[in-house]
Structure 1
Amino acid sequence: TEENADVKPYIHEREIKYVDITLPPELEHAVIVLKKLLEMRLKGLGELGYIVPSADKLTMAALNSINVQIQRKIAERNTDAFLAASVHAEIMKIRHAVTLAESQGSEILKAYLNKLSAEGMSPSGTKASQRLCRDELFVSLLKDTDTWEYELLPKFEKTFELVSTQLGEYPESRIIIFANFRDTVTALCDYLVKRGVDARKFIGQASKDSVKGLTQKKQIETLGEFRDGVFKVLIATSVGEEGLDVPSTDMVIFYESVPSEVRSIQRKGRTGRHGSGTIYVLITKGTTDETFTHVSRVREKAMTKGIRSLSATAASGGFIVTTPMSGLGTGNGTADKGQHGGQSSITAFTGGIAENGTAVAGAHADNPVPLVIADDREGSSKVVEALHRSGISMGFERLEFGDYAIGDRILVERKTARDFTDTLVERDLIGQIKRMADAAIKPVLIIEGEDLYTQRNINPNAVRGALCAISIGMGVSIFRTKTPEETADLLCVMAKREDNTTEGGLKSPHFHKTYRSKREQLEYIVSAFPGTGLKNARILLGHFGSIENIVNATEEELRAVNGIGEVSAKKIYETARERYTEF
C-alpha cells in the first residue's frame, strides 16, 4: 500500500475532492421515461416466468442472472426464450441510456437515442431496436431531445472551470481527465478546445462505430507531446489507466465514478508521483455516480486491509517475499543490493537472502526457491489467500506477463469468466494472451467461473473463436475452474508436478516444428530474445547479417536499427550477456 516504507518515499500528498453535480430537470424526466420503458419490459419477462428485479434494482449482476435463465430456456428449446432474449437486448440498451443520462450528459444521450432510432428504422436492424423505436414513450423522448440545443449536464462546464482555474494559477500544470466512453472523450475535448483550452484525446487503437482509434505511433506521439508540455490537458478513456507510460500530472479529474477499486486506484495513481496533486471526482447526485463512488471506496478499503493482512502474514514467516524483477527468466534473479536501499525493510523481516538474491521467509531449507511466483498486483486475490492456506511455498514479483509463474517454463494468466468476455469485447484479449504465449515455454490460461457464454450479450461463437485462437493458434493450455479456491488447487498441482520434473522429462522449448530452413532457424533463434518476435528478428538479421553480429553489437548499435526501440535494444543486449545459473 501507499503507507509501506518501500512505496511512501515515491508518493506525494494527494487531495481527493468530490464535486456534486445536479441532474437538470430535462435529464431527470428522461431518466423517468427510460425507467418506465425498463419496467414494462421487466414485467413482460416476469410474465414469461423469469425472476426479475424492479427497474431501480437492475444491476449488471441482475441482468447477467436474467440472461443465464434465458440461455437455459434456449438450451431446453423453449420457443418463448428467443423472444425473451430479444427483450433482454432491449433492456440492455435502455439501461445503457439511463447510464448516459445520469453520468455522461444530454448530448451523449441524444446521439445514442438517435443511433437506436436509426437502427430500428433500418431493414437490417435487430428486432429489439425495431420494437423499441416503435414504442410511444421512446418516440416521445426522442422528440424531447430535439429541443435540447446545448449540453444540459453541468459536468462539461464544471470540468472547464476546474481546468481553467488550475492552468490560470499554475500554467505549467499537466491535467488528465478520465471518461468511460469514447463519445464523451470526443465531445468533452471539442468543448474544451472551443473554450480555448489546448486539449487532446487519448483512446485505444481499435476503431469503433464512427470513432477511429489512435494508432500506436499516434498514442506515443500524443503522450510525448503531453509530457513535453506541447499541450496541457489529456482526455483519456480506460486505455490511459494502465500499461502505458502516461506522465504524472498535477490534477486528475474523474468525469464519472467507477465501481472498480482497481481502475479507481490506477486513475488516482496518475498524480502525486513527483509532487502533490489533486483528484476531482464529478458525482451526479441521486444517480449511479453516487453508488459507484461508495462501492469503489468500500472496495479500496477492503483491498488495503487485505494487503496489510498479507504483509503481516509474510512478516510472521508465512510467505516468501521476493525482490521485484522485470519478468520471468530475465537472468539469474540476483539483485544489485546497492540499488535497493528501499528494500532493506523487506529483507529485514524475511530472515535472509537466498543465493539467487531472493528474500526468503518461511521457506524450507531444501527448497529456497518458491514453487509459485504471483504477480505483486495479485496480492489481494482470493487465489493468493487459498495458496497461502495450502502451505505451498510462494513469492511475489512484478511479472511482465501473466499472473503466476511456475518454475522456468510455465506462465499462467487467470481470468474470471466476466473478465475474459470484457477483455474480448473492450480490450485486446488475443494480443494480451499472445504476448504471454511468446514469453513462455508452457503458457496456461485459467478461466474461472461458470456461464462463460452468458456473461455479455455477444454471440457464443465469438467466445468459441477466441478460445480456438488461443488454444490451437497459440498453443496455450486452457483450464476451467469454478472458484478461486479451485484455481489455487490447480496451481498447486501444476507447481508440484513441475517441481518433480526431471531433466529427462523436460521438453525442448523448440518443439513446435521439426524442420526449418537455415533462414528460418536464424529467425527462430533471434525471435526468442525478449520482446523481439519474428518481425524484429528479420529486421535485425537484415541489418547485421548474422546472429554473431547481433550478439556482439552494442546497445547503441541495436537502438540505431530502424524499428528496434530502446526497450527492445536493452533487453537483447542484456540477455546476450546474461550468465546462465543452475538453480
Structure 2
Amino acid sequence: MLFNKDKLNLRLYQQTILNSASSQNTLVVLPTGLGKTHIAIALSNSRLKDASKILILAPTKPLALQHMNTFSEFFEPQEELCLLTGEVAPAERKELWSNSKIIFSTPQTIRNDMIYGQINLKDVSLIVFDEAHRAVGDYAYVFIAENYVKQTPNSRILALTASPGSDEYKVDEVCKNLFIKKIEYRSRENIEVKEYVKEIEVTYKSVTLPDEIIAIKSRLERAAQERLSKLKQYGFVKTDKLDGVTKKALLYLQLTLRKQFHSKNFAVARGISVCASIIKLRHMISLVESESLAALNSYFESMWEEERTTKIKSVKDVVNDVNVRAAYTLTRNALENNLENPKLELLKEIVQEQMSLKAASKILVFTEYRANIPKILSVLSDLPMDTHHFIGQGKKGMNQKTQAEVIEKFREGYLNCLVCTSVAEEGLDIPQVDLIVLYTPVPSAIKNIQRRGRTGRQEIGKTIILMASNTADQRYAFIARRKERKMDDIINTLSENKKTFEKVPVAETLDNYTTQKTALVFADSREHGAVIDHLYKSGINVKVGQLKAGDFIISEDIGVERKTTGDFVNSLIDKRLFEQAQKMKQNFVKPIYIIEGKSEDLFSVRNVDSRAILGAMVSLIVDWQLPVIFSRNPEETADIIANLAKREQFDRNKKVSVRFEQKPKILTEQQQYFIEGLPNIGPTAARNLLKHFKTPRSVTNASLDGLKEVEGIGTILAEQIRKLLDEEYKD
C-alpha cells in the first residue's frame, strides 16, 4: 500500500511513544484529542509488509468507521481498507478479509469469524485495541488477544485508552489480557503534552433542594430505612444506615440469600424480597435528589402499571407502602405546581450564559438516566438554540446510523447542544466543545476523564458539575476526584517501575494445528459466549447454525442440551423442560443434558421448592433416560463437549451431521432433509431408511411391516410415519 508520510506530522511525545510501540506491546494512555490514532497510523505503516494485514478494533461500528475514515487519508488504494461488522454477510466478510490489508471491525464480529473459521490471524502483524480499558472479564478483546498471540509468532499489540481506571487490579488485568510489556502515559500536566492542550476550568455548582422535594426524599428514605432495619434484625447487615450499605452490597447479599433459600428459613425468603425493595427505593431516592421529579414520576407510573399484573413481591411491597404512596402523591402535587429539581433551572442559566458569550457554542450535557433526558430537553427548548438527545442503542434507543447523523449535525453546527447518556464518552468523533455540563456526578474516574476530554483542546475548556447539597451528588463528586488522583498514581507507578505483566499463552504453533486431528462440533446459533470460545481454544472446529434440537451436536448419535442452573429452573417453571427432553429423545440416539454452574445455585436462583427441582432431575434420568452431567463453569462444559467429540469421532469413528434450519442444496442432503421431516426421524434414522428403500418415494410408499424392518424403526415409530402419510388433510 502507498502511505502519505508527508501528511503525518508526529509531535515529539508521539514519536517517543511510537518508538516503544515499535519494539514491544504497548498500552498508550493519552487524554482525548492528543493523537492516539495518529500513533496507530504510524505504527501500522511500519508493520505493514507484503503479505501482512493490520487489524483495528473498536467497541462500536461508528467508532470503527471513524477510524477507517481517518486511516483512508493516509493509505492508498482505498479498496484495501475495509469495514467488517455483523451487518455484512459472513461470506462477504470472508472475501473482504482476504482482499484487504487494513481491516476495521468490532471485536464481536472478529471473535465470531475466528470461531467459525472465516478468518485466521496468522498474517496479522498488528492489532490495535481502541478503548483498551474494556479488555477485562469475558469481553471479546481478551479472547482475540489470547488467540492472536498464540497463533502469530510475530504478533504486535497497540492498546489505546484515555483512562484505564483507578483500580490497580483492573489496570493490571487489562495489561495482562493484552500482553502489554510497556505503558506510555502522558497526563494533561505532562511537560511533553502541556503545550498542545488548553486548561480545563472545572467548576462545581450546588443547589439546595426545596422543602417539597426534601419531603418526598424523606418519605422514600423512611420506607427504605424500615426495610434495612428488618435486614439488620434478621442479622444480614450490621448497620441500618442507608449510607452504610451500597447497591453492590445489597446485590451481593441478595445472591448469598438465594443460595440459602432451600433451607426453608423464613428470614432468608423475606430477606431476598426486602433487598429487592430497598434497591428499588434507592433508585427512587437517586431520581428525586439527582435527576428530576419528572423522571421520578415516570418511574412511579411504570411501577404502578407493573403492580397490576406482576407476582413479584418486591414490586407489590413497594407500591403498597404508605410512605411510597405519600411520596407519589407529593410528587404529582409538586409537578402540578410547576415545582422541579433546581438543578434544571441552574442548567438552563448556565447554557443560556454560554450561548450569550458565543452564539455558535457547542455544548454537551451528561445525565445518568435516560428517563431524565425528556425533561432536560423540555427545559432547554425555550433557549434560542438547537438541542438534541444522544443515547445508546438499547431498548427504544438510537441506532448507529441515527447516532452518526446527529454527530454530523453537531459537528457542522446545525445543533448546539447534545443531551447525552454515557454513549458519548467513548472515542466517537465528537468535535471540540465549548462547555460540558455533568448534570449528575458519577463516582467513576473513567467516565469523568472521558467526558471532560471533549473540551480544552484548541481553547480553554469549561466543565461544570452540578450537585444538590446534602445528597449523594456531593459524595460521588468527591469519590470521582479521589479516583482520578489514584489512577494517576497507579499508572505513573506501573510505567516508571517497568512492571512486567505475566500472562503467557499456551505454546501453540500453526504446525500443531495442521498435524493434530480436529474434531467437529455443530453449535446452535443462539449458543454464544464462553463455551464456544473455549471449544475454539481447545482446537475444536465449530460450525454454527440453527439446530432444531439441542445446543450442540457431537456425532450422529449424541446431542447435548446445555443449561445453566438458572436456565434449568426457568425451563421447569415455564414447562419447557420436558418438551425439550422429548425433542432430544426424538432427534438423538444418545441425548445428554449438561447443567452448568454450582449445584447449590439450582436451589437459589428462583423461589422454587427444592423437591420440585430434584424431582425434575430424577424424571429426566429415570423416566426419560437422559444422562445429566454437571459442570462448574463454561470452561468445564467445553472440556466435556470436546472430549465427547474426540471420543465419538476418533475412537468410535462416528460421523457428525446436522439438519440446520436451512435447506441443503446437494441432492443427497435434500433427500435426507426430506425424510428427516417425518415424525421423530433424526439424521441416523433418515439415512437408515434411505439406505434400505433407496429412494424417498419408496420410503413414503413402504408398508408398516416394511418400515419395521429398518434398523431403529420400531412399531410405534412406524405407526406414526404411516399415520402422517395416510390420514386425510383437514384444513
Q: In the aligned structure 2, how far is the partner of 1:204 from the partner of 1:462?
A: 32
Alignment check: 8 A CA contact 1:259 1:295 kept: yes
After TM superposition, list the pairs within 5 Å mapping 1:511-522 onto structure 2.
none
Q: Show CA shifts across 1:279-328 (max 9, x none).
A: 000011111000001111011001001111123223xxx56xxxxxxxxx
Q: In the aligned structure 1, how far is the partner of 2:351 from the partner of 2:506?
A: 44
After TM superposition, list the pairs within 5 Å mapping 1:49-68 onto structure 2.
49-53=235-239, 54-68=241-255
1:197 partner SS = coil
**What's the offset of the Cα at 1:236?**
0.4
In structure 2, relative to structure 1, the CA distance for the partners of 1:186 and 1:441 (3 Å cut) is farther
**What's the offset of the Cα at 1:6?**
5.1
Match of 2:298 in 1: 111
In structure 2, relative to structure 1, the CA distance for the partners of 1:172 and 1:141 (3 Å cut) is same
Q: Show CA shifts across 1:16-46 (max 9, x none).
A: 0000111111111111111110111112223
After TM superposition, list the pairs within 5 Å mapping 1:251-270 onto structure 2.
251-270=435-454
Opposite residue 212 of structure 2, the aligned amino acid is E
Match of 2:400 in 1: 216
Q: In the aligned structure 1, how far is the partner of 2:391 from the partner of 2:261?
A: 38
2:478 corresponds to 1:294 = yes
**What's the offset of the Cα at 1:141?**
1.9
In structure 2, relative to structure 1, the CA distance for the partners of 1:9 and 1:74 (3 Å cut) is farther
Q: Which sections of structure 2, spanning at least 5 residues, go unmatched?
A: 1-186, 511-525, 540-564, 572-595, 599-655, 659-664, 666-731
Alignment check: 8 A CA contact 1:42 1:52 kept: no
**What's the offset of the Cα at 1:174?**
0.7
Once the two structures are overlaid, the 10-residue window that deviates more, 258-267 or 151-160, is: 151-160
Q: In the aligned structure 2, how far is the partner of 1:81 from the partner of 1:133?
A: 22
Match of 1:508 in 2: none
Match of 1:246 in 2: 430
Q: Which sections of structure 1, spanning at least 5 residues, go unmatched?
A: 320-386, 394-403, 410-429, 444-458, 466-477, 481-511, 515-519, 521-583
Q: Show CA shifts across 1:249-277 (max 9, x none).
A: 11100001100111111111111123221
Alignment check: 8 A CA contact 1:50 1:69 kept: no
After TM superposition, list the pairs within 5 Å mapping 1:252-331 onto structure 2.
252-314=436-498
After TM superposition, list the pairs within 5 Å mapping 1:415-430 onto structure 2.
none
Alignment check: 8 A CA contact 1:119 1:125 kept: no
Opposite residue 111 of structure 1, the aligned amino acid is S
Q: In the aligned structure 1, how far is the partner of 2:270 from the partner of 2:243?
A: 23
Alignment check: 8 A CA contact 1:105 1:151 kept: no
**What's the offset of the Cα at 1:192?**
0.9
2:353 corresponds to 1:165 = yes
Q: In the aligned structure 1, how far is the partner of 2:428 from the partner of 2:507?
A: 26
Opposite residue 46 of structure 1, the aligned amino acid is K
2:364 partner SS = strand
Which of 355, 373, 381 is 1:185 aligned to?
Answer: 373
Alignment check: 8 A CA contact 1:252 1:280 kept: yes
2:201 corresponds to 1:15 = yes
In structure 2, relative to structure 1, the CA distance for the partners of 1:442 and 1:7 (3 Å cut) is farther
**What is the RMSD computed on CA atoms of the aligned residues?**
3.9
After TM superposition, list the pairs within 5 Å mapping 1:331-346 onto structure 2.
none
Alignment check: 8 A CA contact 2:369 2:421 kept: yes
Alignment check: 8 A CA contact 1:52 1:66 kept: no
Opposite residue 330 of structure 2, the aligned amino acid is D
**What's the offset of the Cα at 1:14?**
0.7
Which of 317, 325, 340 is 1:139 aligned to?
Answer: 325
Q: In the aligned structure 1, how far is the partner of 2:390 from the partner of 2:506?
A: 33
In structure 2, relative to structure 1, the CA distance for the partners of 1:102 and 1:303 (3 Å cut) is same
Q: In the aligned structure 2, how far is the partner of 1:463 from the partner of 1:155?
A: 46
Q: Show CA shifts across 1:133-190 (max 9, x none).
A: 2222222222212211224211111111111111111112210000001111222012
Q: Show CA shifts across 1:331-380 (max 9, x none).
A: xxxxxxxxxxxxxxxxxxxxxxxxxxxxxxxxxxxxxxxxxxxxxxxxxx
Which gives a bigger RCO, structure 1 or 2 (Cα 8 Å, sep 6+)? 2
Alignment check: 8 A CA contact 1:17 1:281 kept: yes
1:282 partner SS = strand
Opposite residue 467 of structure 2, the aligned amino acid is I
Give me the TM-score of the superposition, normalised by structure 1. 0.54
Alignment check: 8 A CA contact 2:352 2:383 kept: no
Opposite residue 118 of structure 1, the aligned amino acid is E
2:223 corresponds to 1:37 = yes
In structure 2, relative to structure 1, the CA distance for the partners of 1:309 and 1:56 (3 Å cut) is closer
Opposite residue 289 of structure 2, the aligned amino acid is E
Q: In the aligned structure 2, how far is the partner of 1:442 from the partner of 1:6?
A: 46
Alignment check: 8 A CA contact 1:174 1:250 kept: yes
Alignment check: 8 A CA contact 1:271 1:278 kept: yes
2:188 corresponds to 1:2 = yes
**What's the offset of the Cα at 1:229?**
0.3
In structure 2, relative to structure 1, the CA distance for the partners of 1:77 and 1:27 (3 Å cut) is same
Q: In the aligned structure 1, how far is the partner of 2:352 from the partner of 2:506?
A: 47
2:363 corresponds to 1:175 = yes
Give me the TM-score of the superposition, normalised by structure 2. 0.43
Q: Show CA shifts across 1:379-434 (max 9, x none).
A: xxxxxxxx3xx6x89xxxxxxxxxx999999xxxxxxxxxxxxxxxxxxxx9x989
**What's the offset of the Cα at 1:205?**
1.1
Which of 253, 256, 265 is 1:69 aligned to?
Answer: 256
Match of 1:333 in 2: none
Q: Show CA shifts across 1:41-99 (max 9, x none).
A: 11222333322532232322331342243123225454543332222111111010111
After TM superposition, list the pairs within 5 Å mapping 1:170-569 onto structure 2.
170-207=358-395, 212-314=396-498, 387=501, 460-461=566-567
Alignment check: 8 A CA contact 2:298 2:371 kept: no
- Report the count of equivalent residues: 350
Match of 1:446 in 2: none
Alignment check: 8 A CA contact 2:219 2:326 kept: no
Alignment check: 8 A CA contact 2:367 2:421 kept: yes
In structure 2, relative to structure 1, the CA distance for the partners of 1:114 and 1:192 (3 Å cut) is same
Alignment check: 8 A CA contact 1:252 1:271 kept: yes
Opposite residue 304 of structure 1, the aligned amino acid is D
Opposite residue 63 of structure 1, the aligned amino acid is L
2:269 corresponds to 1:85 = no
Opposite residue 171 of structure 1, the aligned amino acid is A
Give identity over the alignment, percent.
28
Which of 93, 110, 128 is 2:314 aligned to?
Answer: 128
